Every structure is written in structure tokens, then in C-alpha cells.
Structure 1
Amino acid sequence: MKTSYTIEEINDALQGELIGHTTQKINGPEQLQNANNNHITFVGSVKYVKFWVDSKACAAVVNDNLKIEAGDNRAIIKVKNADLAMAKILELFNQPAPVFDTDIHPTAVIHETAKIGNGCKIGANCYVGKDVELGNEVILYPNVCVFDETIIGDKTIVWSGTVIRERCIIGSNCIFHTNVSIGADGFGYRPSNDGRGLVKIPQIGNVIIGHFVEIGANSCVDRAKFSSTIIGDGCKIDNLVQVAHNSVMGRSCIMAGHSGLAGSVTLGDGVIIGGSASIKDHTNIDSGATVGAGSGVMNDVKAGQTVLGYPAQDARDMLKQWVAMRRLVKK
């Protein structure tokens, strides 16, 4: 793996418009204010252009609609989207994954009925239960548990501490970060007839996760009471997120950290849930809608609508209320 690149090599990867030149070898990307002369940085907004002048970076990737000069022994690469271009640069400098000295560690416990695909890697102290099926090139890092009758698709990566409970179905090319919980019991209780306690409602369903789903560390996706909790293809879930029993997420939804879906919530395609937002049970949020950070959604949200606040309302209405409240305070 290369540890440094010329500006021309980086531009070949980005296919942008190279302006100016630097003889400096580039050892990695860095923020504008923290960069040294062997770093490349990026400018994706006009408010950051002013920082380029004083930055020590020898190169920058910039949005092509910004006015910015290269400078002496400094270069810029103009691209349509600096954030996406920077993702490609990060891939160039990305360090290799932890090495497996042996494909299946001798301390891993694998049930005799489990089916292990070609090229799988299973780390130390993993448990793979009865009738589990792992596709080709699945990676289970140390201390992962996959319980009975679960199916995992090709090239899915499961990091240490993750537990996947019985009968779950996982697609291909997924990434589960450390300590993810898939298929734990949904939160179901009812008062007992004598009023002296709570009766646990059995959760006999499972979890179905599509392809190219990524779930952040310490997040939970609970099994359904019956039927399935479903996460659609391409969904991205941040750290410390709760997806409750019988919820259904469409394709390419985003849930930021500390957000949560209560039971039987339905999200359409491309829904964005901001950090620390809470969604009431049995709520529908239609495709393309956005829920602002910290909001509490109590009612259905229309397709393409943005809602804010607690309880959440249309963003424009909520902003007007906030302005009116500030005026009242000033008076």
C-alpha cells in the first residue's frame, strides 16, 4: 500500500480539474486549520474559502463553483462535490483491515450443521450456531455470536462483540460495527390481570436486513413480535440507535446517533432521521421526509416533508413559532 502520492496521482483518481502545481509529496488528508505542507485538504463551502489562505496544506480539493486561487507551490483540484471526492482520497490512504493469521481460529466454536462459504474468516472465540449459513467471504471478527438458523450473505463484515440472534436474515456487503445487537427481544409487556406485575409478550419474529446496510457501534435492531423487523437495502444507521420490534425501514434511509424508532414504525425510501430524534410507535414517515435533530414525531409525516421540534411540526411552521417566541421574550 502506498503511503504518499503526487498531486497528479490524486487527480487521476478524482478526474477533476487540476489548477496549479505542488512538488510536495502528499502523505494524507487533513482539515484546513490542522494541515501541514504534506497534507491535502478540502473546501466544500464558501464559508471555508477564507481559511485556505492561511492553511499550510499544499493542495486542496474544492467545489468547482468556488473562487479560490492555487498559490505558490500549491495546487487545487476542482470537482463537482468536494465531500465525495474526499471520500475517494480517504480510500487511497485507508489502512488495511486487521490481519487473520488463520482463516478460522481454533478457539471458534462452529456447530457441525453450520454451512461456511468460501473465503470466510472467523476470529477467536466466535460462536456459530446450529444451521447457520454464512455466504462467501463473510468476516466475523473475534467474539462475535451468530445464533441458530441465521443466514448471512456474501462479503458481510461483523465486528467484535456483535450478537446476531436466531433466525435472522442478513444480506450481502453489510457492515456491523462493534457491539451491535440484532434480533434481541422486542420491548413488549402488559399489566397482569391481578394488577401486581407485568406480563412479558413473547417475541417470536425475526429481523431481515437487506444488502449494503451499515449499522454503527452499540445500536440495536429488535426482533418482531411476529413477522419481521425489516431494514431495507442501503440503509445507514449511526451509533447508539434503537430500531424497535416490527419497524420497517425502506431503502437508503439514514438514522443519526441516539435516534430511535418505537414499535411498528414505517419509513419510506430515503428518509433521514436526525440525531436524538424519537419516533412514536405505529407512525408512518413517507419517502424523502426529513426529521430534524432532537425532534419528537407523534404523527405521520408526508413524503418530502421536513419536520422539527417536540412535538414535531412542519419545519416552516416551527421556525415561525420560534421567531414569534423570541420576539415575545424581547418585549
Structure 2
Amino acid sequence: MVSYTISEINNILKGELIGDTSQKIEGPEELQKASCNQITFIGSKKYVKFWEDSNACAALVGTDLTISPGDNRAFIKVKNVDLAMATILEFFNPIAPVFETDIHPTAVIHETAKIGHGCKIGANCYVGKDVELGNEVILYPNVCVFDETVIGDKTTIWSGTVIRERCIIGSHCIFHTNVSIGADGFGYRPSEDGRGLVKIPQIGNVIIGHYVEIGANSCVDRGKFSSTIVGDGCKIDNLVQIAHNSVMGRSCIMAGHSGLAGSVTLGDGVMIGGSASIKDHTTINSGATVGAGSGVMNDVAAGKTVLGYPAQDARDMLRQWVAIRQFMKNK
């Protein structure tokens, strides 16, 4: 088991070491669950009260906190506790599952596929006609990549993921289990006799930028025509729906159970809370935030925060909630 002294950890973080501990640190843990050989973190003043009863031997604390660590315990003071904890988690991150062979004998790879240097392809994978994999791409077992798809260098795709034909995936992406890329968009119209629905063909594709991460069981549908686009650096949680012809700018965040209807446009740095729904043909401009559970029916201005169902300016919605609560209290 890997372990570090508090000084070794501080040498990496370059924080301010307060106190000392003789304990070797074997991993990080939450403040109230930590054992004596673990490091924890205190991100704000409201958690200070839990330090005295914690068994942790060390903690990351913000520079604005003035508590002392106590006997045989230590603090590392840092400007950003969350980022420092991310670095610590990298210290203790277990190695990924091991490939005993780079390309498993049960993988089916079309003779026209181009496989880059250092790729790893697990058991029962399918790589179709004219697919191009960049260097050091990893396909874990049971991944399907269909015809004419291109995947950039050092992208990792976990088991159960299906990437349909003609999609373009950037480099350094991570797709978690059971992601669907390039399935048909949801397009139907009533038939002329009014007795059924006519399926609208979806002939576009999906283009995903670099350093994109997509959580388990999320879906990015292909365009009806042209492309559904996910910009560089976007981070998408589990169980998220991105519908046909939507366009996401750079570094957008979508939390779990949120969804974009067809032809939604997101600017750069848009944040969408869990279970929020965005109406089709809506534009949410750069830097805007959509609160959890909200329903966006109209365009949202750059930098604005909206909340509620239907969504409106967050301050107006909060005032409404306060007024309703007061009314019910006085009723």
C-alpha cells in the first residue's frame, strides 16, 4: 500500500505546513469518516467544528481558517482546498484495469480500420470499416465503434459504450460506461392519413472536441442534418440527454438528469444543474447558469442565472418563493 509523510505531500502541494504528525498517510477521506492514517479537508468554517472529533491525522485547510491542528496532527494551508484535494486524490488513484494483451483475440476489427500506436482494445470490442483510432486510444471490453468514425489520441472509452457511424471524437476524452454517441435523434411527424407517425431520417453525425468527459448512460444524438457538437473541455454527468443538432461551446457543465432538446445552443462556460430541461431552439449564452430542476423556455442572456419552472431570473424567483412562503404562513 502506498503511503506518504505529511512533508512529502506538502512538497507537492507547496502549501503552508502547520504542526506535524508521525503518521504515514495512506489515503484521503471525509472529515467524519477518516481514520488516523488518513488526510481530510476543511473547506469552510462550517466544518471546523468537526475537526476535534475527527480521527484524521492531517487536513487541507483554507488560508482564511485560523484553527490549530492539535498534538501529532497537521494542517496544510492552501488557497484552493478543492484543487489541492484533487491533487491528493491523484496520489492515491489506483491503477486502471490491466490489459494482458494490447488487442484481445476476441476483438473484431475491420481490415480497413487504422489503429494508432499504443492502442489497447479489450475483449469483444467491434471496430468497423474505415474507423481511425489515434495513438494510445483505450477501448475497454464490449465497446462498439461503427464505420468511418475517427477517435483522437489518448481517448479512453469504457465498456458498453456505442459510437455510431461517421462520428468524430477528439483527443484526451473519457466516455464512461454505456455512453451512446450518434444514435438517431428523436424526430417524427404525423402521417398524412393521421393514423401514425413518420420517422424523420437523421443523416448528420456527432462531433466531440478535445478533453471532453461524458458520464455513464448519457446520450449524444446525431444531427438530423449537419452535426451535434460538444465543444472542447465540456464535462457531462451521468444520465444526460443531448438531442440532435444541439451545439455546446467550450467548457460547459451539465449535471445528472439534465437535458437539451433539439437544436439548443450553449455558449462557452454554461453550467446546467441537475434535472434541468432546456426547450428546443433555445440559446443559453456564455457564462449563464441554469439552476437544478429548472425548465428553460426562452433564451438566457450571457452571465445570467435562471431558476424555476418556467425558469426566470434567479433573484426574482427567490423573491416569489419568499412571498409565497410568507403568504402561506399568514393564511
Provide TM-score, normalisation by structure 1. Answer: 0.99
CA distance in 1, matches of 2:314, 2:145: 42
User: How do residues 190-229 of structure 1 correspond to structure 2 at under 5 angstroms?
Assistant: 190-229=189-228
Match of 2:302 in 1: 303
1:135-189 Cα offsets, whole Å, 9 max, x none, are 0000000000000000000000000000000000000000000000000000000
Deviations 1:210-241 (A, max 9, x none): 00000000000000000000000000000000
1:1-331, aligned counterparts within 5 Å?
3-331=2-330
One-letter amino acid of the counterpart of residue 62, structure 1: V
Q: Distance in 2 between matches of 1:164 and 1:46?
A: 46
What is the alpha-carbon distance in structure 1 between the residues aligned to residue 67 and residue 139 of structure 2?
A: 46
Letter in 2 for 1:205: G
Instruction: Supply the AA of the counterpart residue of 2:248.
Output: M
User: In structure 1, the residue corresponding to 2:50 is in which secondary structure?
Assistant: helix
**What's the offset of the Cα at 1:304?**
0.4
Residue 3 of structure 1: CA displacement?
1.0
Q: CA deviation at 1:12?
A: 1.0
Task: Give, in whole Å, the separation in 1 of the partners of 2:66 and 2:55.
Answer: 19
- 1: distance between equivalents of 2:53 and 2:223? 55
Letter in 2 for 1:67: T
State the TM-score, normalizing by the size of structure 2: 0.99
Q: Aligned-pair distance for 1:306?
A: 0.3
Q: Tell me by how many angstroms 1:13 deviates.
A: 1.2
SS at match of 2:52: helix
Shift of 1:67: 1.6
In structure 2, how many angstroms separate the alpha carbons of the residues matched to 1:38 and 1:199?
63
| Range with greater deviation from structure 2 (49-58 or 112-121) | 49-58
Aligned equivalents of 1:170, 1:116: Cα separation in 2: 15
Aligned-pair CA distance for 1:39: 0.6
3-state secondary structure, aligned to 2:165: coil
Structure 1 residue runs of 4 or more that deviate by more than 4 Å after TM superposition: none
- Give the residue type in structure 2 aligned to 1:50: K
Instruction: Give the secondary structure class of the aligned counterpart of 1:323.
Output: helix
CA shift digits 1:74-115 (9 cap, x unpaired): 000000011100000000000000000000000000000000
- The secondary structure found in structure 2 opposite 1:41 is strand
* Secondary structure at the counterpart of residue 39 of structure 2: strand
Q: Distance in 2 between matches of 1:290 and 1:68?
A: 34
Letter in 2 for 1:57: A
Unaligned runs of 5+ in 2: none
- Identity of matched residues, %: 84
